[in-house]
Amino acid sequence: MEKRATPTIYLAGDSTMANKGANDGATDGWGQYLSKYVTAPVVNKAVGGRSARSYTNEGRFTDIANLIKSGDIVVIEFGHNDGGSPTTATDNGRSDCPGTGEETCKSGKDGSTVYTFGHYVKAAAKTYIAKGATVVVGSQTPNNAWEGGVFSTAAPKFVAYAAQAGKEIGTGATFVDHFQAVLNAYKKLGNAKTNAFFPNDHTHTSPAGADLVAQAFAQAIEVKLNGTTPIVPYLRSGNPTVW
């Protein structure tokens, strides 16, 4: 497959990564700001409200597979919309089957087969790797860690699930604990400054907050928080240190 002179970085995720975030006019996703901190072109394919399951079923992972060339990099980061139970009659089409392996469930709404978070992430990653790309699995961004004025380090289960998926994919994939990187930044900022980044709720950040989340991601890559990722050679010099 043809290889670009400089790889393109594709982003797959939810509203915390997507352009305009939750589309409420006050928030934005961090994917919009990553290009400030890397020299490679960034194509943000994140879509608000999506989970690993719905992104799969809507063909969005496939859309990226049809675009990538050998040497490209795909960042996969989900978790905010993956919780809940798919087996109820009110299945929202986003909840993954509980578990960390190849467990399956039946949707209580339409009887379709539902897989685990790890299954969806690994299946997409392996498709990209087979086409000559590399994959970075990121853990979801934290909610407002200072909500209520007390700093919380509690991590949703999908943070561990993302780490496990990154490990199990094997050659061609790496994991970045974006959750921990952003948490470090929020701790350093403190209560008032962190709360100012959340104008509407405890999940979606203002544009300034989204920029910080992108900076924390770049710093995690720079310091090799979880090992060396393929993005390292494309970091800009002089990026901010936020934690």
* Burial class of residue 190, CB neighbours in 10 A (0-12, 13-18, 19+): exposed
Q: What is the reported pLDDT for 25?
A: 83
| CATH tag, 9-234 | 3.40.50.1110
**Binning pLDDT at 50, 70 and 90, where does residue 2 land?**
low
Q: What does the domain layout of the chain look like in residue ranges?
A: 9-234
pLDDT of 115-126, one tens digit each?
999 999 999 999
Q: CA 46, CA 81: separation in Å to the nearest integer?
A: 13
- 194 has pLDDT over 90: yes
Active site residues: 15, 201, 204
Q: What is the reported pLDDT for 124?
A: 98
The mean pLDDT value for 165-173 works out to 97
The phi-psi region of residue 184 (left if phi > 0; otherwise alpha if psi is between -120 and 50; otherwise beta) is alpha
pLDDT of 108-165, one tens digit each?
999 999 999 999 999 999 999 999 999 999 999 999 999 999 999 999 999 999 999 9
Residue of 203, 177, 174, 199 lying closest to 80 (CA atoms): 203
Cα angle 173-102-99, degrees, rounded to a multiple of 5: 95
Q: Give the mean pLDDT of the chain.
A: 96
**4 or 96: which leads in pLDDT:** 96
Report field, pTM of the whole predicted structure over 0.85: yes
